[in-house]
Amino acid sequence: METPARPGTDVGHELRTALDGLDLVEDPDVLSSLAHDDGEWAEVGRPLGALRARSSEEVGRAVRACAELGVPVVTRGAGTGLSGGANATENCLLLDLSRMNRILEIDAENLRAIVQPGVINDELTKELAEHGLWYPPDPASSPWSTLGGNAATNAGGLCCLKYGVTRDYVLGMRAVMGGPAGPYGTEVRLGRATAKGVAGYDLAGLLVGSEGTLGVITELTLRLRPLPRENPRTVVGAFGSLVEAGRAVALCTGRGLRPAALELLDRSCMRAVEDWKHLGIEPDTAALLLARVDTPGDAGTAEATELATAFTDGGAAWTEQSTDATEAEALFAARRLAYPALERLGPVLTEDVCVPQSAVPDMLARVEEIGERHQARIATIAHAGDGNLHPLLLAPPDDEQAKRAAQAAFEDILSAALELGGTVTGEHGVGLLKREGMERELGPEVCAVQDAVKQALDPLNLFNPTKVVDPAQA
């Protein structure tokens, strides 16, 4: 694979000339804040500059210029990623799409919306609610993360247990690509605008989750659902151990229960949130399970009761059902705030393994064992119903020993997940941090197929090189 040529002349100067009139950031302080996402300890290169693009035309012009000058293009939204996927590579152009933040169309008749990639997830949710509509994918980063970033990483979230992940809601997109699509900078329309469609390969689905390595998403056509009409019910269960909570999760799946969310928080997570936000949560147990039930009517009542029974059968010390929106919101807010609450205390290395639901109790036991063995401090949150666990590895700032312990535990957790038939990343993506784990998971043959796709669609290796795939190394 070709890598972008690096002419001997002052590339920064040529790039500045090529992007004349556009909002190119070169201030070192601003650049360094834009040069990375939230993936702790992932490598960060020095960018040549950051373009705050305002239109797909500007994106096209920038990509064209970068292709000519051999400057890698690293696209970013809000930078809330957790795998280093949006980190600058050396001498790249950062393409910041956060200003392409317009909702272009809300089509209630056809349950779809057209948005620019920089629209923040929660902003769309708010706007849609006024039309009685709903966009389900709700990563915990939804108050900050962009829909373009959500699509690039195929973001999950709380309610994907029942409603699916981002890929299930991306009907179509516009993307600036290169190679076979035409000269680098060419914008194409992938996917469709209809509920169904099988005209050709699922290229829109391929770009979803490709983490900016195949092109730049400049517009999204999203599938919507009607807004649920009733307040959801919440079912809480408190457990004396993580493993008991895991057992309750496995029971729920095995009994065919499918709540809108089934989340797990351990004591460290709840305490960190409470110390920061004072929501009035006083956990005196090792773990909480939080279920949200949005099935309407009497069937929803029955579902909530069955969940509570499964919690009890799993070993819950107590369970509680509620339709009180305030109380439920506080609990789910605690779930959402767990990551930033812990991040306040120092670097957090975020695991993102996903295992079959029946293996959740085993996986939680292994996480505890791994933490003890490495003397690593681990707080665990989980989209437990999906088998998607986020053990958070904590290290006080500048504590090299704690950092090494965290990194060793991180690798062991990946191995444990693979042994249990799981994946190294359930929803955060590969970026830089999971490259090696992905290779272990997929094996050389499948990685070679991925490399071949990358080479075919981005022959210059211009888009987010070294992330996910790295055919240059192959």
What's the rounded Cα separation, in Å, for the pair 164 and 146?
18
Three-class SS of 28-59: HHHHHHHCCCCCCCCCCCCCCEEEECCCHHHH
Nearest to 34 by CA among 91, 100, 87, 101: 87
User: Residue 209 or 340: which CB sits closer to a second copy?
Assistant: 209
Smallest separation (angstroms) from a second copy to the CB of 316: 20
Q: How big is the site for a second copy, counted in residues (CB under 8 A)?
A: 98
Smallest separation (angstroms) from a second copy to the CB of 111: 6
279-308 residues in contact with a second copy (CB under 8 A) are 295-300, 302
Nearest to 96 by CA among 20, 149, 17, 175: 149
61-120 residues in contact with a second copy (CB under 8 A) are 107-112
Q: Partners of 235 in the beta sheet?
A: 291, 321
3-state secondary structure of 317: strand
CA distances for 279 relative to 141, 160, 276, 336, angstroms: 19, 25, 9, 12
138 Cβ contact list (under 8 Å, min separation 6):
121, 125, 157, 158, 159, 160
178-197 residues in contact with a second copy (CB under 8 A) are 179-182, 186, 188-190, 192-197
CA distances for 27 relative to 17, 23, 96, 161, 466, angstroms: 17, 12, 14, 43, 25
Smallest separation (angstroms) from a second copy to the CB of 360: 10
User: Residue 91 or 425: which CB sits closer to a second copy?
Assistant: 425
If one asks whether residue 391 binds a second copy (CB under 8 A), the answer comes out as no
User: Residue 48 or 257: which CB sits closer to a second copy?
Assistant: 257
Considering only residues 88, 115, 147, 165, which one is a binding residue for a second copy as defined by CB under 8 A?
Answer: 165
Smallest separation (angstroms) from a second copy to the CB of 7: 27
If one asks whether residue 452 binds a second copy (CB under 8 A), the answer comes out as yes
196-215 residues in contact with a second copy (CB under 8 A) are 196-203, 205-206, 208-210
160 Cβ contact list (under 8 Å, min separation 6):
136, 137, 138, 383, 386, 427
User: Residue 190 or 272: which CB sits closer to a second copy?
Assistant: 190
3-state secondary structure of 95: strand
Binding mask 328-357 for a second copy (x = CB under 8 A): --------------------------xxxx
Smallest separation (angstroms) from a second copy to the CB of 194: 4
Smallest separation (angstroms) from a second copy to the CB of 426: 4
* DSSP assignment of 394-415: E--TT-HHHHHHHHHHHHHHHH
Stretch that binds a second copy, among 31-39, 256-264, 272-280, 313-321 (CB under 8 A): 256-264
Considering only residues 4, 81, 232, 422, which one is a binding residue for a second copy as defined by CB under 8 A?
Answer: 422
User: Residue 57 or 275: which CB sits closer to a second copy?
Assistant: 57
